Chains A and B, each alone.
Chain A
């Protein structure tokens, strides 16, 4: 078994581990009682946070009237107060405003990378499944090669080639995510293709492209969406990590990872610049994860 096949097996093992099913001697207890209620609360909270984040991302101006990049050197590193809810940073910029305006770059790199990986992976996966065995083999081996490089290092390589910045960081992350989607898509397409309704569509004289677009792709969507939602949280963490080490959006863009990087030199005198952006990031990732796991549960 190759490296990449190995990894897919890891993920299937994980998927198999996840459901809270008491399989075995007590099958009747599956999802009964309190745990279900608790997870509904969790889901509600997750959805509420996601809705809030969507609003903040779309219209940060509604949440603060302060300019996130307004430098005030008389107000540097002020502790949280009525004037500055989350305090100010080393340049006297209001941290609350920067976190609000930072939502867009912080979240959109990860979301964009996931979408790019999904679209690219689906195209490659369908191509591999629908091609002859030589093309299929070539694509699979190329995916093996991409997957042989640890994710973050592959991003470093791509950013080194393309240069730093938000778009290039997203492209790098997308390349790392693509093989997973391609593999799942390929496997799903091969599974769906042998279904009766696909055979029937062929029998009715539909063209290959029509069948793929109308029948095969819609029926492979479930596992692919599940993969995307579950991976989104780690994509967001990865993109903020890139900003943290200076490979993301350029300053003075308010991005949570970059803000945390800026806080590093002042930890001794000010805890707030190191805490609030990270808190925002954690809450966002947690919300995405909670909702993502639910979507994964639904699509199974």
Chain B
């Protein structure tokens, strides 16, 4: 997608009437400023999130020991040993800065249930989830651009049918879509492996289930942007130059539609991180889903907090990247 944009950028600049069409050399400083302010703001937000989790753990302490000892008939000496082992009795500021330091090093402590470092538990499960999220993002981008380009028409009847289909798809809960896909394509037709497969073919149905909603939303936003752009004077200019219809759509209108769609990317990535966990449960896939759900049910706080912080960091990084991407797509935001 980015290639498409950069390659068409010089041709568009004069036509769409946007300022800032000057040389690329002068763009360095504002970009650096943008990246710097976004990164600093993100670091502040993440620091706040880490601090919040620290106080959350503090409030739950009595609870933590109780959870650890729930299954055993342990006496007070075992309780004391656990308190000292997890440094639960140091002064508050000491524990806070120790916690901060450990989190910075990626040390989220040890899982109460799995009895192994949280980071290790996460890195064991993360790749499977990332693969699913990656295929979903890829599917979303390709499918929504395709569908939007095909359905961007001024014919209102066709558009309202497409819009109705989109509303329907958005209303379908992803986990139910997954179940239905499993029933039809795995159990009836045997096209795809059933539950628990880690083969590439096993990715198809989870990806469809997870991508359906984002594809529908992104297609709608892209299409409405394209339909609006089709009425812009620069499209008429392009047409008078004898440019073919597909070229008008892909080179000129799509770029305008991309801006709101890119803004959506941040929201979609946030929902995918959570959505993947649910979909993994539907298909009994390996991944973060199994880890986080058992941790939540067992109140294994180091694992839950570790995953939350990893997800928040990922989400914040994606948001910054979206900002930067927006900056590249739309010269008007470069002020």
Give residues in A with beta carbon < 8 Å to B: 1-3, 6-7, 9-10, 13-14, 16-18, 20, 22-26, 29, 33-35, 38, 42, 141-142, 144-145, 148-154, 156-157, 159-161, 163-164, 233, 237, 240-241, 244-247, 257, 260, 263-264, 267-268, 271, 274-275, 277-278, 281-282, 285-286, 289-290
Contact = CB atoms under 8 A, between A and B. Distances in A.
Interface of B: 37-38, 41-42, 44-46, 48-49, 52-53, 56, 60, 154, 156-157, 159-160, 163-164, 167-168, 170-176, 179-180, 182-183, 186-187, 194-195, 220-221, 224-225, 227-228, 231-232, 260, 263-264, 266-267, 270-271, 273-275, 277-278, 281-282, 289, 292-293, 295-297, 299-301, 304-305, 307-308, 311-312, 315-316, 319, 322-323
B278 A245 contact: yes
Contacts of B170: 289
A240 B172 CA distance: 12
Contacts of A16: 260
Contact of A145 (B45, B60, B263, B297): B45
Given A25-B231, A151-B270, A244-B281, 5 more contacts: A148-B46, A152-B278, A153-B308, A160-B304, A237-B174
A1 B231 contact: no
27 contacts: A2-B42, A3-B42, A3-B45, A6-B319, A6-B322, A17-B224, A24-B228, A34-B156, A144-B45, A151-B270, A151-B271, A152-B274, A153-B274, A157-B53, A160-B299, A237-B174, A240-B175, A241-B175, A241-B278, A245-B277, A245-B289, A264-B179, A267-B183, A278-B173, A278-B176, A285-B173, A289-B171
B267 A145 contact: no
Contacts of A289: 167, 170-171
Contacts of B300: 160
A149 B308 contact: yes
Contacts of B53: 157
B45 A148 contact: yes
A246 B195 CA distance: 18
Nearest to B304: A160
Given A148-B49, A157-B304, A245-B281, A275 B266 contact: no
Main SS of the interface on chain A? helix
B308 A156 contact: yes
A23 B323 contact: no
Main SS of the interface on chain B? helix
A281 B231 contact: no
A281 B60 CA distance: 35
A21 to B, nearest CB: 9
Nearest to A270: B183
Given A150-B274, A152-B274, A267-B183, A17 B45 contact: no
A244 B209 CA distance: 15
Contacts, number: 200
A13 B45 CA distance: 23
Contact of B266 (A7, A144, A145, A277): A7
Residue from the set A13, A160, A289 with the largest chain B CB neighbour count within 10 Å:
A160
B315 A278 contact: no
Residue from the set A20, A33, A153 with the largest chain B CB neighbour count within 10 Å:
A153
A35 B159 CA distance: 10
Contacts of B176: 260, 277-278, 281-282
Closest 5 CB pairs of A and B: A152-B274, A24-B231, A278-B176, A145-B48, A286-B171
A149 B163 CA distance: 31
Contacts of B52: 145
Contacts of B264: 10, 13-14
B311 A1 contact: no
B45 A2 contact: yes
Contact of B315 (A9, A17, A149): A149
B45 A244 contact: no
B41 A274 contact: no
B231 A150 contact: no
Given A1-B323, A152-B277, A286-B168, A142 B48 contact: yes
A233 B164 CA distance: 16
A244 B273 contact: no
Contact of B225 (A17, A260, A278): A17
B182 A267 contact: yes
Given A3-B316, A17-B221, A285-B173, A274 B260 contact: no
A10 to B, nearest CB: 5
Contact of A282 (B154, B172, B220, B277): B172
B172 A153 contact: no
Contacts of B220: 17
A263 B178 CA distance: 12
B292 A156 contact: yes
A72 B232 CA distance: 66
A263 B171 contact: no
A45 B203 CA distance: 37
Residue from the set A20, A152, A244 with the largest chain B CB neighbour count within 10 Å:
A152
A157 B302 CA distance: 11
Contacts of A33: 156
Given A148-B316, A150-B312, A240 B173 contact: yes
A3 B41 contact: yes
